Amino acid sequence: MSEAWIPPALILIAGALAVPLVPGRLLKAWLVLVPIVAFLRVLSIGMGIPAAGDSATGATLLGRVPFLGHDLVFGRVDKLSNIFGHVMAIAAVIGSLYALGVRDRAQHVASWLYAGGSLGAIYAGDFLTLFIFWELMAFSSVFLIWLRREPGSNAAGMRYLLVHAAGGVALLAGIVLHCEGSGGGWAFDAFDVHCMDAGSWLILGGFVLNAAVPPLHAWLPDAYGAGTFNGSVFLCAFTTKTAVYALCRGFGGLDILVPLGVAMALYGVVYAVLENDSRRLLAYHIVSQVGYMVAAVGIGTPLAINGACALAFTNVVYKGLLFMGCGSVLHMTGESRFSALGGLYKRMPWTFLLTLVGGLSISAFPLTSGFVSKPLIVAAGFKSHLPAVGFLLMLASVGTFLHTGLKVPYFIFFGKNHCSPEVWERAADPPWNMRAAMTVSAFLCFFGGCYTPYLYGMLPNPVEFNPYTPYHLTETVQILFFTAAGFFLLIRKLEPEPTVSLDTDWFWRMGGRAFRWFARKPVQSLDATFGELYRTAGLAGLMRSAGGVRSFDNRVIDGLVDGLASAVAGIGRRLRGLQRGALQESLALAFAAAAIVAAGVLFFLGAFSR
Amino acid sequence: MNPVKIIDFLRDRCRLLAWIGFVVFAILAAVDAVPSVIDKAHAHTEAEKTPLFWPLFGFVGCALIIILSKAFGHAGIMKREDFYDE
C-alpha cells in the first residue's frame, strides 16, 4: 500500500478470519471489540474531512494498491462515503452485540465478512475494488440464510445467490463496457446521466437489483424472512443501503429513478398489508423505504441527496431495531407468523416497548429520527415541482405507520392470542445482550430525532432545513392519528391470514421448476428414446455389419493372404532347384545380370538426353 | 418498573382511552380547520391549505391502502402457505 491507510473493512475481515481461532472464553469480548475498533476507525477517517460544502470535489483518495496495471483505491474519503461508513459501522456494532449468544462461529464470520464487504464497497474509489467488495457481500451474506439450517433455508439461500450472481455479472459486464469500451475510466465517479451508454445501464442494473427495485426485488422478502434471527438483522442493513450509496454516488439526477422509487414505496406498502410473516412484512417495508431513497436519487437536488443519505442512515438503525424485535420473538418462541402469535406483551414486555420505538421512529413520529430524515425527501419532491411525487410518498408514509407502527406491534403483542401452548410457554424477553442491542438502537432513534446536528452535520450537502416547524409538526401528528383511526376502524380486515403472496419470485421459482421438469421429462425421455433406438436398431445393425466384415476378413482377406503365401512357397520351391551351392557361378551370374541392367539404363538415358 | 402492569392498567381503561383519543382527534381537526391557529405558509402546495386536508389524507389514505391491497390480494395473489411446496 502506498501509505499506511487502514480500511475499516480490513479490520472486520481480519477479525472475521480470526474468529475460528479465538478461545471460547474470549469470543464474546472479541465479538464486541472488533466492530468497535472498526467504528473508531471510521470516526477517525471522518475527522479528516473538512467541515461543509465539499461533497463532490473534496474527496481524498487513500489506500492505493497497484494491481495488474490498475490502481485499486480502498479509501475514497468524502462526506458521502463517511455518512454511509459511519452508519454501517454502527450496524456492525449493534448486530454483533445482538448476536453475542450465538455459538455458531460461522455466522459471526459470515456477518463480519458481509459488513466488511459493505464498508469496502462504500470506501472504494474505483470500479474493480467496488466489484470485489460487492461480490464479497453477496457470497458471505448467503451463509446467514443457509446457516439457519431449516427446511426451506437452503433453497431460499440458493435463490438469493442466483439472483445476486446475475446482478454481479451485469455489474461486471457494465464495468468492462463502461471502463474499457466507452473509455469511461476505472474511477467510480458520477455518471453522465443525460448520456447513458450500455455499460452505464448495466451498472445501474447491478445497483438497482441490490436496491431491490421491482421487478428485481422479490429476493429480499424471500431471503430476509428465511435468514437466521440474528443474520436478518445484518441483512436488513447492508445490501440495500450500500446500493443506495452507490446510486447516490453514480446516478444522482437520473429521471427514471423517480417513478421507480415512488412505485417501490407503494409496492412495498401493498404487499406489507397482505403479509402474514412479521419479518417478511418488515422486508417488504424495506422495499418501500428504499423507494423513498431511490426516488430522492432520481430527483438529484442537493436537498434530495441529503434526504436519501439521512433516510438511509436512520433506516439502518430503526429497521435494525424492528428486525431485532421480530428476531427476538422468533428466537424465543420459534414463530414469526402473525397467525401463530398474539398477546405476547405479557410475556415479552420489553421487546414490545423497544419494537414500538422502532415502529414509531420509522413512522416519523416527532422526536424520533424518522421525523428529521423522511421530510427531507418529501420536501425535495415538492420543491422540485413534483407534487405527485410528494403526495404519493406521503401516502406511502401512511402505509408505513399502518404496518410497521401499528400492524406489527398489535398483531404480535396484542390482538387475538393465536399462540400454541408451546409458543406461549417459551415466550420471554430475550437475553441481556439482545435487549442491550435493541436499547442502543432505540436510544439512537431518539437521539437522532432530538439532536438534529448529529445527523445533519454528516450530510453531504449543506442543510437549511428545520423539521420542527409548527406546520410540519401538526401535519405529521394529524396524518399519524387519523391513520391510527383508520387502522382501528378497519382492523377486522387486517386480521392475519395464513397465506403467502405471489410476487415476481414466482417467475424464477416456477422457472426453475420448469427447467427441472424440462431436464427430467423432455430431455431425459429423448435421451432414453435414443438409447432404446440405438440398442434395438443401431446395435443390431452394428452387429450385422460386424458379421459382414468378419466373413469378408475370413473369405477375401484371409484367402488372398493364404493364396499369396502358397504362391511364394511354390516359387521358392522352384528356385530351390536352381541353387547348386556354387558360390562363384552364382556371383558371376548376378554381376552379369547387374551389368546388363546398368548398360540398358545408360543406353536409355543417353537416348532420351539427346 | 413492570411494564406489564402499566399496559394492563391502560387496557383496563380502554373506554377512557378511546374518549381521550376522540378528544385528540377533535383538537387536531380543529387546529387544522381554524385558519389562524397554524401558519400554513410552510405548506408545499395550495391544496394543503384546504381545511382538514392532512387528517383526511391520513384517514382516507389508510382506508384505501387496506381495502385496495386486500382486494388485490384476494384477486389471486394470496395463496395457501404450502403453495410453493413440492
Neighbouring CB atoms inside 10 A of A468's CB total: 13
Q: In sequence order, what are the residues at sequence separation of 6 or more whose Cβ sits closer than 8 angstroms to the Cβ of residue A175? A: A127, A128, A131, A199, A203
Helices and strands in chain A: count of H runs, count of E runs:
26, 3
pLDDT digit string, tens, across residues A479-496: 999 999 999 999 999 999
Taking residues A72-80, report their average pLDDT. Answer: 90
Rounded to whole angstroms, the Cα distance separating A279 from A283 reads 6
Q: How far is B78 from chain A (nearest CA, A)?
A: 4
Select the more confidently predicted residue: A559 or B7.
B7
Cα torsion angle, A263, A267, A268, A270, sign = positive
- Are the Cβ atoms of A398 and B79 closer than 8 angstroms? no
Say whether pLDDT at B29 is over 50. Answer: yes
B59 neighbourhood in chain A, CB within 8 Å: 482-483, 485-486
Report which secondary-structure segment, H or E, holds B14: helix B14-33
Chain A residue closest in CA terms to B38? A471
pLDDT digit string, tens, across residues A523-552: 888 988 888 888 888 888 888 888 888 888
Query: So what's the ipTM on this one?
Result: 0.92
Cross-chain CB nearest to A490 (options B48, B63, B77) = B63
Cross-chain CB nearest to B65 (options A269, A475, A480) = A269
Say whether pLDDT at A31 is over 90. Answer: yes
Cross-chain CB nearest to A493 (options B32, B70, B81) = B70
- Are the Cβ atoms of A387 and B44 closer than 8 angstroms? yes
- List the grid coordinates of A193: 446521466
Taking residues B42-61, report their average pLDDT. Answer: 89
At A2 the pLDDT is 45
Taking residues A554-576, report their average pLDDT. Answer: 83
Say whether pLDDT at B37 is over 80. Answer: no
Rounded to whole angstroms, the Cα distance separating A60 from A504 reads 41
Say whether pLDDT at A608 is over 70. Answer: no
- Are the Cβ atoms of A478 and B55 closer than 8 angstroms? yes
At A58 the pLDDT is 67
A481 neighbourhood in chain B, CB within 8 Å: 21, 24-25, 28, 55, 58
Rounded to whole angstroms, the Cα distance separating A41 from A119 reads 11
Say whether pLDDT at A557 is over 90. Answer: no
Taking residues B36-53, report their average pLDDT. Answer: 83
- Are the Cβ atoms of A499 and B80 closer than 8 angstroms? yes
pLDDT digit string, tens, across residues A95-140: 999 999 999 999 999 999 999 999 999 999 999 999 999 999 999 9
Tell whether B65 lies on the interface with A, counting CB pairs under 8 A. Answer: yes
Select the more confidently predicted residue: A49 or A107.
A107
- Are the Cβ atoms of A270 and B68 closer than 8 angstroms? yes
Cα torsion angle, A245, A246, A247, A249, sign = positive
- A460 cis-preceded (ω within 30 degrees of 0): no
CA distances from residue A580 to A575, A587, B72 in whole angstroms, order as listed: 10, 13, 117
> Are B79 and A275 spatial neighbours (Cβ–Cβ below 8 Å)?
no
pLDDT digit string, tens, across residues A353-399: 999 999 999 999 999 999 999 999 999 999 999 999 999 999 999 99
Cross-chain CB nearest to B58 (options A353, A483, A493) = A483
**Mean pLDDT (chain A, rounded):** 91
User: At A257, is the pLDDT very low, low, confident or very high (cuts 50, 70, 90)?
Assistant: very high
> Are A107 and A80 spatial neighbours (Cβ–Cβ below 8 Å)?
no
B39 neighbourhood in chain A, CB within 8 Å: 470-471
> Are A144 and A238 spatial neighbours (Cβ–Cβ below 8 Å)?
no
Q: Which of A209, A191, A189 is nearest to A200 (CA)?
A: A191
Cα torsion angle, A182, A185, A186, A191, sign = negative
Q: How far is A165 from chain B (nearest CA, A)?
A: 23
Select the more confidently predicted residue: A258 or A585.
A258
At A470 the pLDDT is 87
B56 neighbourhood in chain A, CB within 8 Å: 482
- Are the Cβ atoms of A269 and B83 closer than 8 angstroms? no
> Are A408 and A282 spatial neighbours (Cβ–Cβ below 8 Å)?
yes
User: At A580, is the pLDDT very low, low, confident or very high (cuts 50, 70, 90)?
Assistant: low
| Confidence (pTM) | 0.86
Select the more confidently predicted residue: A594 or B42.
A594
% helix / strand / coil in chain A, to the nearest 5? Answer: 75, 5, 20
For residue A254, which phi and psi values (nearest 5 degrees)? Answer: -80, 110
- Are the Cβ atoms of B86 and A474 closer than 8 angstroms? no
Rounded to whole angstroms, the Cα distance separating A510 from A180 reads 37
Rounded to whole angstroms, the Cα distance separating A243 from A260 reads 15
Rounded to whole angstroms, the Cα distance separating A516 from A521 reads 8
Helices and strands in chain B: count of H runs, count of E runs:
3, 1
Tell whether B35 lies on the interface with A, counting CB pairs under 8 A. Answer: no
Q: Count Cα atoms within 13 angstroms, Cβ side, for A441.
A: 41
User: At A157, is the pLDDT very low, low, confident or very high (cuts 50, 70, 90)?
Assistant: very high
